[in-house]
Amino acid sequence: MSQNKTVPTGASAEAFLAAVEPERKALEAQQLDTLFRQATGFAPQMWGASIVGYGRYHYRYATGREGDFLATGFSPRKARHSIYIMPGYQDYGAILSRLGKHKLGKSCLYVNKLADIDLAVLAELIQTGLKDLDALWPVRPN
């Protein structure tokens, strides 16, 4: 069976966030780190080269595939922030309708700048996603 390409690393999340460019993106990444810490109660851990994750879970599918993955997190990409909510956004339409300007992927929310969204609604979305994920697979600290 194949292994996940995105795995936890020993890299410092603080050092990664301090090196984000441009400055506006770095300041927003620091805001997101604070929000994720408060919303989850978890310390950050780097997953791969550019994802800051909070919490983790172990999954096992009916096919037998299993592994560990970040419970929630974000990546301050050049074009926009990628925000990861597991198990996806399919059930979160009511929350997303109050969030503000964003685009969706399967388990990823894209935001150009934090001024475009309501951060309290984002915190609600993070907490709801963690609760729903924990009902499927127990979420634990990194």
Token pair of 63, please?
């096919």
Per the document, the length of the chain is 142
Show me where the domains of the chain are located.
21-136
Beta bridge partners of 82: 75, 110
Give the separation between CA 54 and CA 101, rounded to whole angstroms: 24
Confidence of residue 58 (pLDDT cuts 50, 70, 90): very high
Tens of pLDDT, residue by residue over 69-109, are 999 999 999 889 999 988 766 688 999 999 999 999 877 89
Percentage above 70 pLDDT, the chain: 96
How far, rounded to the nearest angstrom, does the alpha carbon of residue 140 sit from its chain's CA centroid? Answer: 15
pTM of the complete model? 0.93
Render the burial of 64-90: b for 16+ CB within 10 Å, e for the rest. eeeeebbbbbbbbeeebbbbbbbbbbe
